[in-house]
Structure 1
Amino acid sequence: MVSLSLGELISSHRSRRNLSLSDLAEMSGVSKSTLSSIESGETKRPSYTTWKKIADAMDIAPSTIINAFVDTTYHPKTLEIVLAEVIREGWEALVAKVAIRYLESPRIDTFRALDHIDGTARDTENKRIKRILCDSIITFTRSRGIPSYLASALYERYLIERDDFSRFEETYRRGKELLLYTEHLYTEDRIDYYYKMGVHANILGLHDESIELCRLGLREDRTDSKQKASAYISLFNSCVYFGDIHVAAIYLKEYENSQYADFRKNHFRATLLAKKGQHEEAIELFRVCLQEAKKEGRISIVVDLMASYLEAGKTDELLRLIESEDQFLPEATPQHPYRMKTLAQYYRRKALCLISLEKFDQGFHSLSESIKYFKQLGTTSEVIDGIRLFLRHHRTNNKNLSFKNMEILEDICDNII
């Protein structure tokens, strides 16, 4: 945003409206001599009250006048008033400008200024504004080597951004910067960060990083909590991914000992049976899980049950499961990243099953649904893999790419990165 001085603004608007200084003095309540002094540049730092009177009289947009005023002052109390105003109005560019100006003010102690911006960020409900304030602290403290405030701001920003599923992969990468400063977090926040990042990595399929992060949290945590139980789930899933069934069983036992363990205990037991090749026993236990779980918790069980049906060659059972979708598909898009990922996995497995049975149109539709959910989650690698499968099966099955499917792929590729 380009700033004009107040004098330049007055001259420009007076000329446009053909006003004399006497006219403006009468309209604004600011004396003619003061106006002349401001316009000539003799008075370089008029008060904010004077700016407001002139702006109101000349119908100058408040955001324009604030943008110009901020360049003229380092007065802490005035900047606090201005910051509160731009936050209230939701002027995001000005929030960043005023916050940095305040932090750079030589007329206030640096740590008092950081405390004020930090407190303002915590008290602000608007997440976009809150993130801008955190970014201001991050920019300021990173350049000046103030690790304690930098760590706190990075942590707060991660918590804000983590809820935006469309940037889930990017948020994880940004969140990793905090690993350099975790010693400056309070113990509870540090454990919380390790657990959240560990689960985050698990959802993104970064299983080695998930194991490392969750173990960092467990190393310090002496409590039993819902987050700790979630960490055990991530550790279990990652160990299963690597084929380390023995260690996975250890983490399953730890999960079962938590007061926050739920119906997923049987799900994970069935998963271990399946990994050991005991598919008949696994299938029976998966079926028990489906009966125990509520509708919103069934989709992840179904995904693993489908794999066991395929391994056991039970194609008819698999098709019957797919036909009973109304019993386990969510009625709306899930608001949790793990459930969204599981839904994407379901549609992919369903697609591969249908395509293998030469039900191409249904299979390609299901595959496009899978890609759509991976895209919503922001996992670019999974989206690309889905597109690759889509094209490969068209090629290997000598299927022409219809205009409809071209439109589907084009829509998927829009804003993919």
Structure 2
Amino acid sequence: MSTVAAKPKCLGELIQHYRQRKKMTLAKLQEAVGIDKGSLSRIENSEVKRPDFQSILSIAAVLDIPHNDVVEKYIEIGHKSEVVYTILQNELTTLEYPSLIPKIAAKFLQAPNEDSLYLVGKLYREIDSIDIDSIKLSLYDLILDYSRSHGIMPYIAKSMYQRYLIERNDFSRLKETYYSGKYILHYIDFLPQDEQLELHYKLGVHAYNLRFYSESIDHCKKVLAEDGGQSPYKIYALGVLRDAHFGIGEYKEAEMYSIQYKQFNYPHTHEQVVLMEALFHAKKGNTAKAIEQLWSFLDTCSDIFVLSATRHLIQLYLEQNNTEGVKAVLENSKISSSILDNTNPLTYYGYAEYLRLQGEYYLAIGEYDNYISHLMKGALYFSKINDTIKEKECLNMIIRSHIEQNIPMHKATLEKLSSYYVKSANKMEG
């Protein structure tokens, strides 16, 4: 009959277990770590209430005790908050054992005879120095749960807000994280004024990225109403209001906000104004003037505006059925996927639109393979920001062109579509 060794229940048992497994006597361990046998014996028998942490680490190193195990058992003993906090800071410095960090932080929050507001505030301030988002999220979640159970409203709001700022950068969950961000509005009065403004602005941008233009306008108007000065958020909100009104065809309002926006000398303000003036000309029917301005703009604009100007130029030429104009734009274009910014979903949307418009051009000149290829690439980049409407629009264009215009769909095309749908299904399951 086989027996399974009992799992060590405490720090002393853990040390004894590994010492016996190495067949090391207390005398040998004393020689290795410089701690007398009597003290080692008392540690193993849990007779030392709070052994020195560095001494325990020395013992663990000699006995090859896994770091995770020894730290977890050590913090279970019950220490003052300062001791646990020091251990937490050490782990945050090395980041070698990330799974330990939320466990140590939880023990820190459980420190007896300490003010809960003091503890949660101290932990919250420590998180800002961490560079790894997964660790930050685990700690903000810990603070959120702790604050809810203790009724600490400011840190309920703060932890949700910080979690939103991280999660909104996951483009595959843009809609989901937008709604989680909106939920924070129920707690917004518990945030300081600067964070209230930032939240309204971030939600305004987020809504704009999702093409929820009316909601974007509501959020950004909050920024204007509540910002008594001229913070960057107020100026940037003017730009979003201009673009959101433009997006729903309210060009008079868009021009009004454009006039207000161009009064400020912020980075790229002038370039945005010039680009928008060209788009306003196009909407007023002065397409020739708009095209002239966009070509001129492309000669001088910063890299971040090249994509937007190029795709608007292609769009205008396509509306005129001017394939030679599109050809000239594409021959002049050096745009590639390298322009994508992992912190800005609008670059993904813009690049996907650029590919879709190229697809329309290739259809117009009868290059069907290029047409299908570019639409599929466009669909792929729309999917990266979870824009299922535009993704399906690209794929549907391929199918409709086959049905309505009798464009041949060869086996290779069907295989590409099949492969795309398989990848899309796997992505949804994953």
Give yes or no for TM over 0.5.
Answer: yes
The equivalent of 1:307 in structure 2 is 315
Aligned-pair CA distance for 1:96 = 0.9
| Equivalent in the alignment of 1:265 | 273
The code of the aligned residue for 1:351 comes to G
> Structure 1 stretch 92-101 or stretch 236-245: which is displaced more?
236-245
Match of 1:372 in 2: 380
* Alignment partner, residue 138 of structure 1: 144
Q: Which amino acid aligns with 2:301?
A: A
Say which is worse superposed, 91-100 or 8-17, in terms of deviation: 8-17
State the Cα distance separating 1:65 from its structure 2 match: 0.8
Query: What is residue 341 of structure 1 aligned with on the other side?
Result: 349
Written as runs of structure 1 = structure 2, the 5 A alignment for 1:327-366 is 331-335=338-342, 336-366=344-374
Task: Give 1:92's match in structure 2, choosing from 95, 98, 110.
Answer: 98
Quick one: structure 1 residues 10 and 386, their matched pair in 2 at CA, closer, same or farther if it must change by over 3 Å? farther
Distance in 2 of aligned mates of 1:246 and 1:296: 26
TM-aligned CA deviation for residue 204 of structure 1: 2.1
CA distance in 2, matches of 1:410, 1:247: 44
Q: Give the Å deviation of 1:297.
A: 1.2
Alpha-carbon contact 1:198-1:212 (below 8 Å) kept? yes
| More divergent stretch after superposition (205-214 vs 45-54) | 45-54
Check 1:83–1:3 CA distance in 2 against 1; reply closer, same or farther (3 A cut). Answer: farther
1:211 deviates by 1.1
Specify the alignment match of 1:78 in structure 2: 83
Matched, 1:293 2:301: yes
Percent identical pairs in the alignment equals 27
SS at match of 1:334: coil
Q: 1:62 aligns with which of 63, 67, 89?
A: 67
**Counterparts in 2 of 1:66-215, with a 5 A limit?**
66-90=71-95, 91-165=97-171, 167-215=173-221
1:354/1:362 contact within 8 Å kept: yes
With normalisation by structure 2, the TM-score equals 0.84
Task: Mark the CA change 1:358 to 1:88 in structure 2 (over 3 Å): closer, same or farther.
Answer: same
Task: Report the Cα distance in structure 1 between the residues aligned to 2:30 and 2:223, rounded to whole angstroms.
Answer: 65
CA distance in structure 2 between the aligned counterparts of 1:82 and 1:143, rounded to whole angstroms: 25
Q: In structure 2, the residue corresponding to 1:113 is in which secondary structure?
A: helix
Match of 1:403 in 2: 415
Kindly state the Cα deviation for residue 93 of structure 1 after the two structures are TM-superposed: 1.6
Instruction: Note if contact 1:38-1:46 (Cα within 8 Å) is conserved in structure 2.
Output: yes
Deviation string 1:267-325 (CA, Å, 9 cap, x unpaired) is 22332333344433433333343344234312112222223223333233223323322
Q: Which runs of 5+ in 1 are unaligned?
A: none
Of residues 97-106 and 170-179 in structure 1, the stretch that sits farther from structure 2 once superposed is: 170-179
Distance 1:216 1:225 in 2: 13
Task: Judge conservation of contact 2:26–2:41 (CA < 8 Å) in 1.
Answer: yes
Q: Report deviation, 1:169.
A: 4.4
CA distance in 2, matches of 1:79, 1:383: 50
Task: Describe the SS at the equivalent of 1:223.
Answer: coil
Deviation at 1:117, TM superposition (A): 0.9
Cα gap change, 1:207 to 1:42, in 2 (>3 Å):
same
Q: Quote how far apart the aligned CAs of 1:80 are.
A: 0.8
CA-based RMSD: 3.0
- Provide Cα deviations, 1:38-86, integer angstroms capped at 9, x if missing partner: 5455667544344323312211122221122222324201101110122
Structure 1 residues 364 and 249 mapped into 2: Cα distance closer, same or farther (>3 Å)?
same
User: Any conservation in 2 of the 1:300–1:342 contact (CA below 8 Å)?
Assistant: yes
Does the 8 Å CA contact 1:28/1:57 hold for their aligned counterparts?
Answer: yes
Structure 1 distance, partners of 2:37, 2:228, is: 71
Asked if the contact 1:224–1:259 (Cα under 8 Å) also holds between the matched residues in 2, the reply is no
Normalised to the residue count of structure 1, the TM-score between the two structures is: 0.86
AA in 2 matched with 1:358 = G
Q: Which amino acid aligns with 1:124?
A: I
**Residue identity opposite 1:84 in structure 2:** Q
Following the alignment from structure 1 to structure 2, what is the Cα–Cα distance between the partners of residues 241 and 56? Answer: 63
| 1-structure distance, mates of 2:235, 2:243 | 13
Deviations 1:360-410 (A, max 9, x none): 221222223323333444545544544444555566534143435544444
User: For each residue in 1:176-214, what CA deviation from the matched residue of structure 2 results, as whole angstroms up to 9, or x when unmatched?
Assistant: 332222212222222122112211221122222211111
Deviations along 1:228-267, whole A, 9 cap, x unmatched? 3332232222222222222222222222223332122232
Which residue of 1 is the match for residue 4 of structure 2? none
Say whether the 8 Å CA contact 1:76–1:107 is kept in structure 2: no
Structure 1 partner of 2:3: none
User: Pick from 216, 219, 244: which aligns with 1:238?
Assistant: 244
